[in-house]
Amino acid sequence: MALEEKREKRPPVTPMMIEEEAALRNGSRGLPPGPWAEAAGPRPRTTERHIAVHKRLVLGFAVSILALLAVTMIAVLLSVRFEECGAAADGPPRAGGNGSLSGAARQPPGTGQPPGRPEEEKARGGEAAAAEEKQEEEEEEWQRRRELPPWARPRLPRHLRPLHYNLMLSAFMENFTFSGEVNVQLEVRNASRYIVLHAHRMHIEAVRVAEDKLAGGVRVARSFLYPQTQVFVVVLNRSLEVQRSYNLKIIYNALIENELLGFFRSSYVLHGERRFLGVTQFSPTHARKAFPCFDEPIYKATFKISIRHQATYLSLSNMPVETSVFEEDGWVTDHFSQTPLMSTYYLAWAVCNFTYRETVTKSGVVVRLYARPDAIRRGSGDYALNITRRLIEFYEDYFKVPYSLPKLDLLAVPKHPYAAMENWGLSVFVEQRILLDPSISSISYLLDVTMVIVHELCHQWFGDLVTPVWWEDVWLKEGFAHYFEFVGTDYLYPGWNMEKQRFLTDVLHEVMLLDGLASSHPVSQEVQQATDIDRVFDWIAYKKGAALIRMLANFMGHSVFQMGLQDYLTIHKYGNAARNDLWNTLSKALKRVGKSVNIQEVMDQWTLQMGYPVITILGNETTDNVIVISQARFVYDSDAKPKDPALGDNSYLWQIPLTIAVGNTSHISSEAIIWVSNKSEHHRIPALEEASWLLGNINQTGYFRVNYDIRNWRLLINQLTRNHVVISVSNRAGLIDDAFNLARAGYLPQNIPLEIIRYLSEEMDFLPWHAASRALYPLDKLLDRTENYNIFNEYILRQVASMYLKLGWPTNNLNKSLVQASYQHEELRREVIMLACSFGNKHCHQQAATLISDWISSNRNRIPLNVRDIVYCTGVSLMDEDVWEFIWMKFHSTTAVSEKKILLEALTCSDDRNLLNRLLNLSLNSEVVLDQDAIDVIIHVARNPHGRDLAWKFFREKWKILNARYGEALFMNSKLISGVTEFLNTEEELRELKNFIKSYEEGAAASFSRAVETVEANVRWQRLYKEELFQWLRKSLTH
């Protein structure tokens, strides 16, 4: 049994034990001397024979009077205590919760109440019932006024503004609880006797309200938690006065949760011992689980944090430690410097026993990377640390705004819901996305680590420094960070051409798959309540946001765009901004260089409408040099019901910056830009000769697809076959992606994309191969369970064979000096090997099996780094169960996070359904597979044709468990739902999906809606186009 499970078996901690422990810490040994101590002792009885009868009557009457007075006094005292402390909705304050931190803050939550006498319990019950009755009366009064009470509204009332938080925490890592005292300085904008702020899943011990700089407090009538909107309500006896400042003090406690949000715990094993740490994840709405706060982005304030913990741990937060106070009992309190103005969801802290390495930027920013001691010792964080220093310097120069804090800590944790979180000054990364061992990490892994770090560092400006006003514009930070992943990586590795090339396959092509669904949504979408917030964090916000920013940068000109961003950050630093603030600033930047474009008018069409257009360019047979350009919304399934029935596809219209060029067998003209703003337009194109072809969306800078008449497609295919280098690398990749997706949606015959990729045998650039591989993948999954799959398989192998032989296999001698020079060539070789092994090239299979066998027999892994994942997967799929067990053993024994990831994924490649079922069941054991990795296991099994139905069945059977674990975590549920369902393609599977959704209507509605549309489109394609494709393939293979 694991250590964490053993902890559950120990005797429960009682409030009495906690109070005794607190008393011992304070140096006391029992009740202090005084009247209460005397009252607790036994009293001698009076002898009755010395009392006369009439004296007994007088005495009885006196005792009655005294008793009545005593009861009255007790009632008054209880009333005063109730008014000042405010019983929370989950019960009255516990012993020790009298308003002083020394008692309440040291008591862990979740341990119940001390046993009381029946009359005390009855009194408490009466008070709670009276409070509940009072709350119901007030709610009825609001209903009569036809208004929601302030605590029942989806957004916080606007009558208060927090100015400063003073937060003192005590972390009890031995039983995973914490306690806190928060003092919030409030500014009153409108008079009200209600204070409403967020608090969730915590026990409130005490609450007080006082006017600043004046003696005495404001009487608290009552207070309660309102779980429906995750708020804590303080009802006062009088209204707070406008333009006055007040202090709100709340003492509370809560659990350090065993989950992935709020203040949660994680663990790792070092020298056979399991060690624990506590870390926070507050974005978007989980700061309220760690302290009562105004948990909306607009409520920026300053924060002063103190963390008390055992001296065997260290604590981290957004700012550096100012002072540390050590106690005799082995505890220490770290007091951190005050933060700048910031939103609650960027606040962060951690309690751990990690070690670190550090570096310093040119401007004096101290950068540290904290991780497990063994990882630091191995130097696994050195790469991340060094590029972080360089990237801070790059961003400071690009934005002309200095990094705002004195330090930046990078924290590598074993368990985290996301790749990383950009907390200001304390960015948290899951280990797989920041730790890198050069001796066993591939170029692909290095690229992943690099881009995650580039993304999070961009957030220190876009997000931390300038924060979106509300969640509807989350793309303002996520879109920019995603775009700068490619710009920043180009700074580190100029030869990789990330922004001009890799952006296309990894961002543009990927998000257009999602945004081509009728169930998509605008990049800026309305957010009314907390339950709506999670759904805005998806690839539309991240990747479409980035693609629109890239389009904007290209039609503005990069230097003008950069100047506009500098102005935007300077104007809005330490504050909030909305999309119109960005548009206005960029329009002004254009005006300064003599250009007049209304950025808001153009970009509102792209951000407030869902989807994207397909531009169709047709030659005009009646007039020379004139073409017809039309636009329409692109959708994969024309039968799919639109999300908004009132807005049909014909209602969509965009202002489109269409770049266009004319080419022939040896030359292509310079590009011209045409702004297309109508459904259909005629344009004259000079030098458009009989043998010339047209090419639209040069280098794919625009967020749209381009279709042509069949004649132009034939000319382009002929050009690629004869002399493909006339067309740019980016456009070659774009033609492949557009053709496959236009055919999948029914805009083009099914053979056109397959004819285009025939030229690949001569293609020596990585990007078109990568585009082809990614475009073939969904087609492969549509066909991999059909009777005639071998025909498709054979056609692809023919296109790959010559390049596979030409490139060969890599040797295992990659090192740092080779990474930059060989990136394009090594990634091309990797892509071709992956295609060859995936589609069954015999030599590729033999090579993989030989490398695996050599590893097993010699116990030395000589498999080249850049193809290890391909070899592992191929070996597991081809070889016997012993190989699976060997990989399983290596997964458990390795400590390198990059290796652990690809070993786990390789286990999903087996053809053995028993092994796949075994792996699925093991995936939910957190001791075996980390929580964030379990989703990847299920999805990879679903991608395996031998495991697709197993994963689909497992998903349905375990949905309640999966939804409970991942339901609140951004991306995770939608990623899981999409990954398990996206390649279902039979009528029966579609029925199963719809029936399942009917059974479990709660949660993830948007994700399930997309899933149904995707499967419906798959079924439709099978019905309409599958046979057409196979007929062409049969004919092609016989020639």
Please give the positions annotated as active site. 456
What is d(CA 524, CA 527) in angstroms, rounded to the nearest whole number? 9
Beta strands in 119-219 (DSSP E): 160-172, 177-188, 192-198, 203-211, 217-218
Residue type, 701: T
CB 912 within 8 A of CB 923: no
Pairing status of strand 407-413 against strand 366-371: parallel
What is d(CA 528, CA 472) in angstroms, rounded to the nearest whole number? 9
CB 186 within 8 A of CB 248: yes
Residue of 593, 587, 563, 591 lying closest to 401 (CA atoms): 563
CB 194 within 8 A of CB 233: yes
Residue type, 38: E
For the four alpha carbons of 695, 700, 701 and 703, in that order, the dihedral sign comes to positive
Q: CA–CA distance from 765 to each of 425, 760, 775, 884 (Å)?
A: 40, 9, 16, 35
DSSP state of 407: E
CB 124 within 8 A of CB 231: no
CB-based contacts of 1018, cutoff 8 Å, min separation 6 = 782, 983, 984, 985
CB-based contacts of 90, cutoff 8 Å, min separation 6 = 203, 204, 225
CB 388 within 8 A of CB 457: yes
Structure tokens at 971: 């991306």
Please measure the distance between the N-terminal and C-terminal CA atoms of the chain and give it in whole angstroms: 64
Residue of 695, 463, 485 lying closest to 573 (CA atoms): 463
Structure tokens at 553: 């940068």
Looking at 578-689, list the stretches that DSSP marks H as alpha helix, in order from N- to C-terminal side.
Answer: 579-592, 599-607
Structure tokens at 473: 């514009």
Could you tell me how many residues make up the chain? Answer: 1039
DSSP state of 924: T
CB 347 within 8 A of CB 302: no
CB 964 within 8 A of CB 260: no
Structure tokens at 182: 């928060």
Q: Which residues pair with 234 in a beta bridge?
A: 195, 223
CB 131 within 8 A of CB 86: no
CB 919 within 8 A of CB 907: yes
CB 361 within 8 A of CB 389: yes
DSSP state of 433: G
Residue type, 620: N
Structure tokens at 28: 């006391």
**Cis link prior to 284 (omega < 30° from 0)?**
yes
Residue type, 599: I
SS3 325: strand
